[in-house]
Amino acid sequence: MKKVNIALLGLGTVGGGTYDILTKNRDIILERTGVDYEITHIFEKYATQLEKHGAPLSLQTLDIDSIIESDDVDVIVECLGGMDFPVSVMTRALKNGISVVTPNKAAVAANYDMLHSAAEEGHAYLKFEAAVGGGIPILTTIQEQLAGNHFTDIMGILNGTTNYILTKMLKQGQKYEDALSDAKKNGFAEPDPTADVEGIDCANKLCLLMVLAMGKYVNPQQIPTKGITDVTMEDIQAAYNRGCVIKLIAHASLTDDGFEYYVKPEEIPLDHPLASVSNEFNAIYLDGDAVGELMFYGKGAGALPTGSAIVGDIIAIMKGLQNE
């Protein structure tokens, strides 16, 4: 098996976390996969970002075509964020037979069929475990270990930023703006946090969960969505006095009576398992006809948890390439 060549696109919070894991845990990854790998390109504007992670400056490039059209790049890790440019890059790479790993839920949710068609055309892998639940390995688990189940219910706290803000407002009486500013500093929030606080990020993640667990694709824009911008300190305190916490909940239910889905702030009783999910942690509840009820819990945002999911996808691709 030849060495697998990896191009990292973007060395911000998540790209940086991915680089750190790939370099720090190299021995353990080699031992577990039996496949050698090398980071051959880092598409990143700021040399300071490479310096921050101890990456050789010789890897820095801004020539995207030389990566996408290369016969030597096996895997692209897209950590650019945004929509048009990364979608174009991922589509071209996949069609050219280069596998893609991305945490970009907005891009994958809005272009689900097109990106999968491109992967099929190029006989390449498209993986996006990090797009939902940060470090929680939920998408792979649904597609592999739980693939024999018909799912009727999905309920989750899917956004680390809003859960962090709501937790800080309740537990420390912190102002919304201050908690959001901390979430940005900690690398939980998107560069433009509008998608976080308006619930759009949750809708993108719910879209991916619904299509993979229930086989139903709904464009995220069609998911009724309300964020937390209207939630006041008074609302949070009043809910607490009623024995509840306010959480931004994403919910999908597929029954004989119909298919319902939404994202909105809800009052959760304090004795409910989701009530104790705090700060940037996420949790996903699933009900499968065979397995029954399941809960998954872990860090839903941040450099290393999200990087962990990306590295897991890279490893799966390396193993897949090895078996071809």
Among 18, 33, 49, 159, binds ligand HSE (CB under 6 A): 159
Q: Which is nearer to ligand HSE, 14 or 236 (CB)?
A: 14
Phi, psi angle pair for 246, to nearest 5°: -90, 125
Q: Work out whether 190 is an interface residue with ligand HSE (CB under 6 A).
A: yes
C-alpha closest to that of 19 among 35, 1, 7: 7
Q: Which stretch binds ligand HSE (CB under 6 A): 58-66, 156-164, 236-244, 287-295?
A: 156-164
Buried b (16+ CB within 10 A) or exposed e, 275-296: bebbbbbbbbbbbbeeeeebeb
User: Whose structure tokens read 């209207």?
Assistant: 230
Q: Work out whether 313 is an interface residue with ligand HSE (CB under 6 A).
A: no
Q: Work out whether 160 is an interface residue with ligand HSE (CB under 6 A).
A: yes
What's the rounded Cα separation, in Å, for the pair 315 and 33?
A: 7
Those residues with Cβ within 8 angstroms of residue 109's Cβ, 6 or more apart along the chain or in another chain: 131, 203, 204, 205, 207, 208, 219, 220
Q: Work out whether 102 is an interface residue with ligand HSE (CB under 6 A).
A: no
If you ran DSSP here, which 8-state letter would residue 272 be given? S
Residue 303 CB burial class (10 angstroms; 0-12, 13-18, ≥19): buried
Q: Which is nearer to ligand HSE, 44 or 196 (CB)?
A: 196
Residue 205 known to be catalytic: yes
Catalytic residue among 205, 216, 264, 319: 205
CB of residue 189 vs ligand HSE: minimum separation in angstroms? Answer: 5
Q: Work out whether 156 is an interface residue with ligand HSE (CB under 6 A).
A: no
Those residues with Cβ within 8 angstroms of residue 216's Cβ, 6 or more apart along the chain or in another chain: 210, 254, 259
Query: Going residue by residue from 201 to 240, which x/- string records binding to ligand HSE, judged by CB under 6 A?
Result: x---------------------------------------
CB of residue 206 vs ligand HSE: minimum separation in angstroms? Answer: 12
Query: Going residue by residue from 283 to 302, which x/- string records binding to ligand HSE, judged by CB under 6 A?
Result: -----------------xx-
Give me 324's structure tokens.
């071809």
Phi, psi angle pair for 69, to nearest 5°: -95, 5
Q: Which stretch binds ligand HSE (CB under 6 A): 81-89, 154-162, 257-265, 289-297?
A: 154-162
Task: Show contacts with ligand HSE in window 113-142 (CB under 6 A).
Answer: 134
What is the binding site for ligand HSE (CB under 6 A)? 134, 159-161, 188-190, 196, 201, 300-301
Active-site residues, by number, are 205
